[in-house]
Structure 1
């Protein structure tokens, strides 16, 4: 049961971040200032209310599941998690809040776009690391076999 909770939480967190990332890019390319403000608002509310618990559940359940396990895959996942958490709490969360506040007031200045670029970079890094963790988790459970190149 713990593994299923971990898997669901990890998938929800990954889908949240990928949705935020994709929506941001699409609205910037094709949307109006009003639609940008709407997306930024939806990312904060209700988006973060799904993402933050999903990340917490993923981290806690993963930590608990890993207590009695050893090996390269578990070690790699454990090394990535602090960076994913720090990136999320120290970069992505403040960026989302600031961008939402600026977009709500129509402040689309160079600082907005610098912070947004920084947010997209941090989001891409987290998505990559989370994808690696999902891959390694699937390998640990035997649902994904290692590639021949390894």
Structure 2
């Protein structure tokens, strides 16, 4: 191998892609290649949890502070819904894990909503009150 994984991950990745395309399988750095593929999958999972947490936090704020509802909150909800759906469309196998991912995201959302609304954590339900479908189809309307 001309490029070492620990010294230049980007150059290493390009080299590995070139070796794959050329069919030079015996020259591949299989151990690091497997790690990178696993990491890519974990990254997609983390991105979905992050978008779900962002969406759920804004839904909690929307419900908890109706007097502060704004165009900005509405647009953030719509954007998080779109990005969540895009991530799921790109990674449909994550749909099987939605209950677990929603639960994980809700814990993050609940903490963030408490901080952003200057409220106590117990002001928000311990269990997520939104199903996935409800969260991604909610239509925020300002008063």
TM-score normalised by structure 2 residue count:
0.40
Q: Whose helix fraction is larger, Structure 1's or Structure 2's?
A: 1
Greater relative contact order (Cα 8 A, min sep 6): structure 1 or 2? 1
